[in-house]
Amino acid sequence: MKKFNFIAIFAVISVMSFSNNQYNNSLIGNVWKIDNFFCLDEQIKHYTLELHIKEQGKLNWGTFVEFKNDGTFRSYNHERCGNTVFNTITGTYSIKNQILTINVDTIVINKRGIGGDIRTEYIEESYQFEIKQNNNKVDLFLINRIISNAK
């Protein structure tokens, strides 16, 4: 009986671990449409991501976040007007046990298309988010935010 219990517990833990790793890996290497700029507004505590599938011949505008295979991320937007005004947030990330840790290092704000200029800010901010899957979407809930001085 003890052997059966051990095998059953091991099987459940293995399935849970595989599911978490498979789910976490789905964030990596994909472009996600996001409801707000990622880590730009300190008031936002929750983000919803939806896998972005670029359609041939259609305009692909909106706000996006991409988690690259090399451990870096980029949040950016494509506007209907042709990208003359845009923001880009870059940095590094890691995922462990359903926790996404983000380290923001650069924010570029480009307002050249409306008579402004390009401003680049080098910052050190870290965020931790709990990752939850919601059908075909991903929800990120802010757990912690650490602000350092600007570089």
Roughly how many angstroms between the first and final C-alpha of the chain, as a whole number?
A: 61
Range of the domain at 122: 2-147
Considering its fold, how many domains does the chain have in total? 1
Mean pLDDT, range 84-99, rounded to an integer? 86
Cα–Cα dist 127/44, whole Å? 12
pLDDT score, position 107: 85
Q: DSSP assignment of 25-89, as one string?
A: HHHBT-EEEESS-TTT-TT--EEEEEE--PPTTS---EEEEEE-TTSEEEEEEE-TT-SSSEEEE
Beta carbons of 50 and 90 less than 8 angstroms apart:
no
pLDDT in tens, 11-69: 333 333 334 444 456 788 888 998 887 887 788 899 999 988 776 656 677 889 999 99
124 pLDDT tier (thresholds 50, 70, 90): confident
Q: What percent of the chain has pLDDT over 70?
A: 70
Higher-scoring residue by pLDDT: 42, 115: 42
Instruction: For the chain, give the mean pLDDT.
Output: 76
